[in-house]
Amino acid sequence: MQKPFAITLDLGSSLANHTGSWRTKRPVYVDKLPPCNQACPAGEDIQGWLYYAESGDYRRAWKALVENNPMPAVMGRICYHPCESACNRGQIDQAVGIHAVERFLGDEAIRLGWKFEAAAPQTGKRVLIVGAGPSGLSAAYHLARLGHRVSIWEAGPMAGGMMRFGIPKYRLPREILDAEIARITEMGVEIRLNTKVVDLESAMSECCFDAAFLAVGAHLARRTSIPARDASRVLDALSVLRGMEDGEKPKLGRRVLIYGGGNTALDVARTAKRLGASEALIVYRRTREHMPAHDSELQEALEEGIKIKWLSTIKEAGETSFTVEKMKLDDKGFPQPTGEFETIEADSLVLALGQDVDLSFLRNVAGLQIADGVVKVDANMMTGRAGIFAGGDMVPSERTATVAVGHGKKAARNIDAWLRGMKFDAPAKHALASFDGLNPWYYADAPKTVQPQLDMIRRRASFDEVVGGLDESNAVFEARRCLSCGNCFECDNCYGVCPDNAVIKLGPGRRFAINDDYCKGCGLCAEECPCGAIEMVPEAI
């Protein structure tokens, strides 16, 4: 419920602001940066599209969303939503389920056949994108909107990159991925499958490309030196997951060991269960607190019966068994061997120890710098070779699909500016809207909407999607939980509390203005603004 209001002036506040003819401060409306927007790797205006969603204008909300992210139905499923970790509402009850509303809008767009708006007039410039993963697709979308001809060269048989070959269907149904890729190609983006770039410089010169964006995913599995008597029983995680996509399902056996602690290790373990394994055991060198996998995926895996052997490492692979050594953490948190061993019977071992990028196609590119397996880029995403940009897994960054989407957008804007002989200057950001600038008592308690989940029997026996989406009523409710941090949402509070009728309503969507001839500078409007969108500033002398 809203806090009841009575017009009672605080003397301390009045004296501080010198009300009446002594006014030294006056109220001004401000726009601040919501923490969700700041935390989004794709640079979405989350608060902006939530505003339209809560009013039921889903088409407009989707259009605002895809200004920055062309694949909301996909990202609403696979993004680890750092926006929600930053959400101010989390300090009241629970964070707004931003990813769930994003997924709803993306699914609505697919269901109703919404299309992107027409692109800008053609510039005559051609851009090569290497890799049809999240970063490449994002860059292609934004470049096409800007009027450039885009051709994606993809080494694999299908577009999607790690979204397709690294994320199981129970997390991302392929019809959803295909629908959002198709919408990008309908803009005129060309995707050439089974087309591996062997020599980048030759490809650019022979096909007359004006610029290139490198967006190859980390498809090379890392190995480790584990003595193995039967190497055929040791597989890598990416080959297992890729096998699920190209039709050659891996033969893992009834008991499967998975070595690693990331999200890929969990995906392989859960996949093994669905393929009929009676036991899938993850062996991890450290503790749960150090595990890089996300909590939500870990919880789902544990629910499905995945077992984890903490503080352990695999030392040797025998013919029918594996030798595991117990570890202990030193005072710096690093695992150290103990000399204590045990034997575990298993049919196969899957290594999920991380991935690297194949950079061999860059060997003839002059000026391009490579360090620690990634390509160095400047603040504009351009490499040391003018006109060649890079992003996603190829550059130093966190390797997530949403980060890759953000790289694609940023690169596209800088490529566009470079092709026009200009420099892209990102607009300055507003000050952050912090929780202490809000009046949370104005917001009613509204627990976060829980997304439905597939029943456990079907989860363990099929690749059907585990987490369901929100229906329309739940999506609207969830969108309305947004606090509109730092930005006026026309609640009329300032209009109602002003004792001098100094607040002027400008009409729907136009917010308010202050009549300085009436305002005494009492500060009531600023103090009672729920979202912190009014500040008292020194009066000009």
Whether residues 269 and 186 fall in one domain = no
3-state secondary structure of 486: coil
**Residue 2 has what pLDDT?**
36
Q: Is residue 248 part of a domain?
A: yes
Residues 6 or more apart whose Cβ sits within 8 Å of residue 502: 514, 515, 516, 518, 519, 520
Q: Is residue 39 part of a domain?
A: no
Q: Is residue 51 part of a domain?
A: no
The answer to whether the beta carbons of residues 245 and 158 sit under 8 Å apart is yes
The residue written with tokens 């699909």 in the block is 401
Which amino acid belongs to residue 357?
V
What is the residue range of 130's domain? 126-220+356-419
CATH number for the domain that contains residue 530: 3.30.70.20
Rounded CA separation 296/15 (Å):
51
Whether residues 188 and 296 fall in one domain = no
Rounded CA separation 34/521 (Å):
27
Choosing from 335, 355, 375, the residue where a domain stops is 355
B/e letters for 358-377, b = 16+ CB within 10 Å, e = fewer, are: ebebbeebeebebeebbbeb
The answer to whether the beta carbons of residues 26 and 516 sit under 8 Å apart is yes
The residue written with tokens 């490499």 in the block is 383
Choosing from 368, 388, 419, the residue where a domain stops is 419
The answer to whether the beta carbons of residues 269 and 279 sit under 8 Å apart is no
Rounded CA separation 193/140 (Å):
15
Whether residues 265 and 349 fall in one domain = yes
**Residue 318 has what pLDDT?**
82
Q: Is residue 449 part of a domain?
A: no
Q: Is residue 82 part of a domain?
A: no
**Residue 231 has what pLDDT?**
67
Q: Is residue 279 part of a domain?
A: yes
CA triple 519-523-527, angle to 5 deg: 140
Whether residues 229 and 323 fall in one domain = yes
Q: Is residue 282 part of a domain?
A: yes
* DSSP conformation class of 1: -
The answer to whether the beta carbons of residues 478 and 126 sit under 8 Å apart is no
Residue 46: which of 5, 79, 87 has the closest Cα?
Answer: 87
Neighbours of 344 (CB within 10 A): 17
**Distance, CA of 147 to chain centre:** 26
- For residue range 354-379, list pLDDT tens digits in order: 899 999 999 889 899 999 899 999 99
Residues 6 or more apart whose Cβ sits within 8 Å of residue 447: 93, 94
Q: What is the DSSP string of 386-410?
A: TTEEE-GGGSSS---HHHHHHHHHH
Count of the separate structural domains present in the chain: 3
The answer to whether the beta carbons of residues 134 and 71 sit under 8 Å apart is yes
**Residue 118 has what pLDDT?**
86
For residue 148, give Cα distances in angstroms to 107, 212, 412, 516: 28, 12, 10, 49
Q: Is residue 138 part of a domain?
A: yes
Residue 312: which of 286, 290, 333 has the closest Cα?
Answer: 286
Whether residues 244 and 213 fall in one domain = no
Q: What is the DSSP string of 434-454?
A: -GGGS-GGGS---PPPPPPB-
3-state secondary structure of 213: strand
Exposed/middle/buried for residue 327 (C-beta within 10 Å: 0-12, 13-18, 19+): buried
Question: According to DSSP H, which parts of 134-274 are helical?
Answer: 134-145, 162-165, 174-185, 200-206, 237-246, 263-274
pTM over 0.85: yes
Give the pair of three-digit tokens for residue 295. 């909590």
Whether residues 252 and 321 fall in one domain = yes
Choosing from 310, 335, 355, the residue where a domain stops is 355
* DSSP conformation class of 118: P
B/e letters for 185-205, b = 16+ CB within 10 Å, e = fewer, are: bebebebeeeeebeebbebbe
Whether residues 177 and 139 fall in one domain = yes
Whether residues 374 and 494 fall in one domain = no
Query: What torsion, rounded to 10 degrees, do the Cα atoms 34, 36, 37, 43 define?
Result: 170
CATH number for the domain that contains residue 164: 3.50.50.60
Whether residues 157 and 212 fall in one domain = yes
Rounded CA separation 66/52 (Å):
13
Q: What is the DSSP string of 363-379?
A: TT-TT--EETTEE---T
Backbone phi, then psi, for 349, in 5-degree steps? -125, 130
Whether residues 388 and 342 fall in one domain = no
For residue 2, give Cα distances in angstroms to 55, 326, 441, 442, 483: 20, 57, 7, 5, 13
**Residue 333 has what pLDDT?**
86
Whether residues 215 and 230 fall in one domain = no
Provide the residue-wise pLDDT of the chain in tens; the chain has 541 residues: 333 333 333 433 444 444 445 678 999 999 999 999 999 999 999 999 999 999 999 999 999 999 999 999 999 999 999 999 999 999 999 999 999 999 999 999 999 999 999 889 999 999 999 999 999 999 999 999 999 999 999 999 999 999 999 999 999 999 999 999 999 999 999 999 999 999 999 999 999 999 999 999 998 888 887 877 666 688 999 999 999 987 778 889 999 999 999 999 999 999 999 999 999 999 999 999 999 999 999 999 999 999 999 999 999 888 788 999 999 999 888 999 999 999 999 999 999 998 999 999 998 898 999 998 999 999 999 999 999 999 999 999 999 999 999 999 999 999 999 999 999 988 899 999 999 999 988 887 888 999 999 999 999 889 999 999 999 999 999 999 999 999 999 999 999 999 999 999 999 989 999 998 899 999 999 999 999 999 999 987 6
CA triple 166-82-530, angle to 5 deg: 155
Rounded CA separation 4/81 (Å):
35
Whether residues 165 and 231 fall in one domain = no
